[in-house]
Structures are given as C-alpha cells and as structure tokens.
Amino acid sequence: MSDSQKFPVAAHALAYLAHKAAFSADRAVASAELAASVPTNPVVVRRVTAMLGKAGLIGARAGANGGAWLLKPAETITLDVVLRAVNGCAHLGVAPKGVKGCPVGEKIPDAVRAAILSADQAAAERLSQITVADLLVGLQ
C-alpha cells in the first residue's frame, strides 16, 4: 500500500469502529468487515490496524474470532495523531536543489521549502482540530 493511502484507510477504519460502537474486545470488528467498508484488501487493513495498535489507539486480536476495537473514545482521537500513527505526512513534497549562478535557481529552493513548511504546519494544525467522531457527523 502506498504511504498516501495509509492515513485515509486509518481514518476510515477508526470511524467505522466508532460507528459500530467497537469499544471493547467483545465488540471487535473483523478486518474483512473493515476492508469491505473502505473498500480494500483485509491485508491492507491489518497492516494499518497494526500501526494504530502500536500507537495505542486500538486493540486487536488475531485469528478466526479476531478483530479490532477502539481503546479511546472517538471524540478524543484527533486526525493529527492518526497521521503520525501511520507514519504519514501532510507535506507537499521536497524543494528541488538549486542551481548555482542562476538568480532564480539559487533562491527558489529556500522559498519553496518555506512555503511547504508553512503549508505542512497549517495542515497539521487543522488536523489537530478534527476528531474521529467529527468524521461521523451527519452519518448517523
């Protein structure tokens, strides 16, 4: 799975677990069910849920009766935390190297780098204001 898809799959999976009220092991949702909702392959969901588990956002158990459940209320899980949990990034890329001797090429990389940093900070700030519960508003 590409890195660009980890965050959307993680946010979707967490929202689905909240929607299903999966707040304990006895309410665990199977990776096949999560995958059908995304839609993607259950292996992709298991990879992402493993990362969410390491971050302490979900509990999970393997096997025929396996599945995942939320360890925290959806209202307390912000999307910036989800992004970090899956090693995602909101940045727009990397500024190209400059060209010495060119009046534009020497200066543009620093200007582009500053613009990317500013946009990345704005994205992280906005994601810190959105919770998993917010994703479900209007769905229930």
Average pLDDT, the chain: 88
Which range of residues forms the domain containing residue 44?
Answer: 5-89+130-136
Q: Residue 124: which residues within 8 A CB-CB, separation 6 or more?
A: 80, 83, 90
| Residue 72, domain CATH | 1.10.10.10
Give percent above pLDDT 90 in the chain.
55
- The region that residue 26 occupies, defined by phi over 0 for left and psi between -120 and 50 for alpha, beta otherwise, is alpha
pLDDT tens readout for residues 110-136: 888 888 888 888 888 999 999 999 999
- The secondary structure of 10-30 as a DSSP string is HHHHHHHHHHTT--SGGG-B-
Residue 58, beta-bridge partner list: 70
Output the pTM of the full model.
0.82
- Domain contains 10: yes
- 44, part of any domain: yes
Does 77 map to a domain? yes
Task: Note whether residue 96 is domain-resident.
Answer: no
